[in-house]
Chains A and B, each alone.
Chain A
Amino acid sequence: MNAFFDTLISRQDMIQDAFIEHIYLSFVAVAIGIAIALPTGVIIARYRRFAEPVIGVTAIFQTIPSLALFGFLVPILGIGSPTALIALIIYALLPILRNTYAGIVGVDGSTIEAGRGMGMTRTQILRQIELPLALPFIMAGVRTATVLTVGIATLATFVGAGGLGDIIYRGLQSYNNSLVLAGALPVALLAIGFDLILKWIEKRATPKGLKI
């Protein structure tokens, strides 16, 4: 145990940098993932015939083992952060996309019909009815994607993109268990922390009228 704290103190700078790198990678990946998946989810909810193929493609990406996906991308994009980011974005897509779609499609048809009959435009229906009612689902998707991304970002080290995976990898190579732990523990805490925070936001995002 002491050895672990010694490692923490002696490698403090390195661990801190890796930690920040890790958060940066996860955060950017999820942010871009939302920027792509949310509008796509909205579009396939409107044009339902595209829903199955689009979700299907992202589901296929999801099934590729993460290490293999990094492996596929290296010959095309080389090593470095962009490669890691793209892989992470691809993983973040499915949960957000699927939940956005399911959230919007799940909005009670009678509320939409009422909105239409009252003279709301499609955009007004989307912004004032569909998105608010789908928000808890969308946030749940973001939460899943974030936790997933934080975990997979550990593998970014293999394409030279840094992150806490670096620490773990180094520890493994040098049979230094303390160092492995110094990398693994923050990853776990990060995942749990994000999960808790996003769970709280998810609750807040549930419209008050639905909590009754």
Chain B
Amino acid sequence: MIRFDKVTKRFPDGTEALKDITLDLPARQLTAIIGPSGCGKTTLMKMVNKLENPTAGAIYIDDEPITGMNEVQLRRSIGYVIQRIGLFPHMTIADNVSLVPKLLNWTADKSNERSRELLQLVGLDPDVFMDRYPLELSGGQQQRVGVVRALAGDPNIVLMDEPFSALDPISREQLQDELRHLQQEIHKTIIFVTHDMDEALKIADTIVVMKDGQIEQIGTPQQLIDEPASEFVRNFIGTERINQKRSFGERRLKEFVSLFDKDWAGEAEQADAKLTVGDAHQLLEQSGKPRLAVVDEGQLVGYAGERELLRAALQAGKGAAV
């Protein structure tokens, strides 16, 4: 868990980027920090690996203050993905990915194995890509490597600074989906800075909305849509999107099967695929169980939790057939 305790950041020119922020970021979840540019979201994230230091207050990782920690050691234990990708152009994909493992003095075999495994995980065939150079790859592929590089040292925490915002819309959607799936496997504590509300609603477990160096609201995507805490949050989410969410009730679950998880080990409430998304959401809430087991013509077609329903609602709102 990452804790910000009364953190204030004042830059030498007098601007206050962060004003007395106290915040707990849950472990092993994806937290999106969102806000307009200049709201301090990137500064907040960069404090976790000491790329920025607080003027006042303290930051704790697993209850240990990072103030006294060696910044180089700390950074090696935290994954870092930046917007402009920042792969090293003179190094092969293999060298890029194994950089942190090398810094951590892993054996060549171990880091090699890890690189291959991770590349596979993001759909890049290691045999094809290991010996290529970054400039030979498309933007989407490069950022996949960027994500892999951040995960290579097996960090518990991964910081992502608007990692997909420089990509074309199609690659962006793909990488968002992949990150979601990846996170279901790796369960890292991910801090994801973005200014794109669609992105945040789609991928985050928790969203922190910031404005002018302060926190406007913290909540799950659903909470933000149901109860925006202020006019600012409401506007930021967009009235349109909130209305969309309210009108999703007409579309049926079976249209969105591809969004649902195929496996789920925990408890689930059975739901008919003919239910509307709205009714399904109500059923889920009433059941108190984490997921719905969606059944179509007597056959199990997938598991849907709150997030999947929300995504279905978003898709429904866009009018996109799935």
Contacts and interface: CB of A to CB of B under 8 A. Distances in A.
Contact of A111 (B88, B100, B159): B88
Contacts of A115: 86, 88
B90 A207 contact: yes
Contacts of B89: 108, 111, 133, 207, 209-210
Interface in B57-98: 72-78, 80, 82-92
B261 to A, nearest CB: 32
Contacts of A108: 84, 86, 89
A118 interface: yes
B103 A212 contact: no
A117 interface: yes
A113 B82 contact: yes
Interface string A74-116: 0000000000000000000000000000000000101101111
Most buried by A among B72, B73, B86, B91: B86
Given A110-B84, A208-B90, A117 B159 contact: yes
Interface string A106-149: 00101101111111110010001100110000000000000000
A115 to B, nearest CB: 8
B108 interface: no
Nearest to B49: A117
Interface in A38-63: none
Contacts of A133: 89-90
Contacts of A129: 88
B300 interface: no
Interface residues of A, number: 22
B136 A212 contact: yes
Nearest to B137: A212
Contacts of A118: 75-76, 80, 99-100, 103, 149-150
A110 B82 contact: yes
Contacts of A110: 82-86
A114 B133 contact: no
A129 B103 CA distance: 14
Most buried by B among A114, A115, A116, A133: A114
Most buried by B among A119, A121, A128, A132: A119
B82 A114 contact: yes
Contacts of A121: 72
A124 B104 CA distance: 13
Given A118-B100, A119-B76, A209 B159 contact: no
A129 B100 CA distance: 14
B134 interface: yes
Contact of A210 (B78, B83, B90): B90
A132 B90 contact: yes
Contacts of B136: 212
Contacts of B135: 209-210, 212
Contacts of B51: 116-117
A119 B72 contact: yes
A115 B51 CA distance: 11
Contacts of B99: 118, 120
B82 A120 contact: no
Nearest to B133: A209
6 contacts: A108-B84, A114-B85, A118-B103, A119-B74, A133-B89, A212-B135
Interface of B: 49, 51, 72-78, 80, 82-92, 99-100, 103, 133-136, 149-150, 159
Interface of A: 108, 110-111, 113-121, 124, 128-129, 132-133, 207-210, 212
Given A119-B76, A210-B89, A210-B90, 5 more contacts: A117-B159, A119-B72, A119-B74, A132-B90, A212-B136
